[in-house]
Amino acid sequence: MGITIHYKGKAKSREAIDELISELINVAQEFQWKYEIIEEQVHGPFSPFWGIVYNFIPTREMILQSKIEYFPKMVTAKNTGYYRISDTSYADHVRRSFRMGKYPRFKVDAVQKGIRIQVHPDCEPINFIFDLNTLIMVHYEKNPAHGNLIFGFEHHSCKTQYAGFAAHAVVCQLIWWAEKYVLFTDVYDEADYYESKDETKAQQTFQRMGQLIEEFGDYLKKVGEKLGFNVTVNIPKQKEE
């Protein structure tokens, strides 16, 4: 919960990735931001983020609004056959498998390369990480609870809520700047600053969200009291601009 910037895209070339990393290292060092260079081989069974399955039958309105698809051969006692398939490079493979009544299986053999920068201690890192085979922005990660299975996403996000609007604006500026090297296919700023460049409106959104988070924390405490136990809600204080 909290204001976040979501973004995805594709590097213009391998050379563009190297140039982006080199320039961002210089910027991070100049402003004394923490940063990490990412370059690793990723190989093994793969679980990409391709969409979601519905455990209930959605309404016609939901189907139209969310572009939910129905696959009769996937219907079982525990599966309604309704899925929302995300716009990723895996979408067609997933559809073909579902039409045959099978769950898709994937493997990955790639190198992910890029840079991760934290512009403020209370802000999530902003990632510019790419699959060198496809040049798509990715995040590949092993989960120890699932053995060697690698989870993958073709999008990134950066929560800025607790760092304040100034840090949020810096993240937006980095994405604007990165357009020299990256073809962004989608950027969604929950504060609407990236799209509108309206500082007043974005700051008001930060203030409203901060109030909602505090109210939600108070609500959780009251629920805990009624149930007979104490609830501790650790909400970082939003930075004053």
Edge-to-edge strand ranges of the sheet holding 182-189: 156-159, 4-11, 182-189
Cα atoms in the 13 Å half-sphere on the side-chain side of 7: 27
- Which residue, chain included where needed, has tokens 């910027």? 27
Instruction: Give 143's contacts (C-beta < 8 A, 6+ positions apart).
Output: 149, 151
CA pair distance 32, 36, nearest whole angstrom: 13
Torsion angle of C-alpha atoms 1, 5, 172, 124, degrees rounded to 10: 60
CA pair distance 236, 221, nearest whole angstrom: 16
Q: What is the pLDDT of residues 20-72, one digit of tens each?
A: 999 999 999 999 999 999 999 999 999 999 999 999 999 999 999 999 999 99
Q: What is the pLDDT of residues 85-109, one digit of tens each?
A: 998 999 999 999 999 999 999 999 9
In the chain, where the domains are located: 4-45+111-199, 51-99
CA pair distance 234, 3, nearest whole angstrom: 17
